[in-house]
Structure 1
């Protein structure tokens, strides 16, 4: 499984924390279950391909 680390500005983290608390889940769960899937659905593949570097598979 590929892992990544994310840094957020304090104000963005506060917004995510509030949204997570409202749903009764953690920020990590909010990112995994809501934010990332919504972003993937709404972002055209061409934009993703241009803005994200290609990833190599681990050996």
Structure 2
């Protein structure tokens, strides 16, 4: 598992991302937030933290 995801997104959200094939933060670049919201365990707090981490690296959700 990657330690690339930001701290505090929670284990359920991390497991959901890995199950969907997203193993690195950069894999989420341009992925629509609506798609991520469909993942079991992905809540608004996790989405906000992922978006903030992406922006820090010059990326963004779709």
| TM-score of the superposed pair, with normalisation by structure 1 | 0.33
The structure having more radius of gyration, on CA atoms, is: 1
The structure carrying a bigger helix percent of its residues is: 1
Larger RCO: 1 or 2 (CA < 8 Å, sep 6+): 2
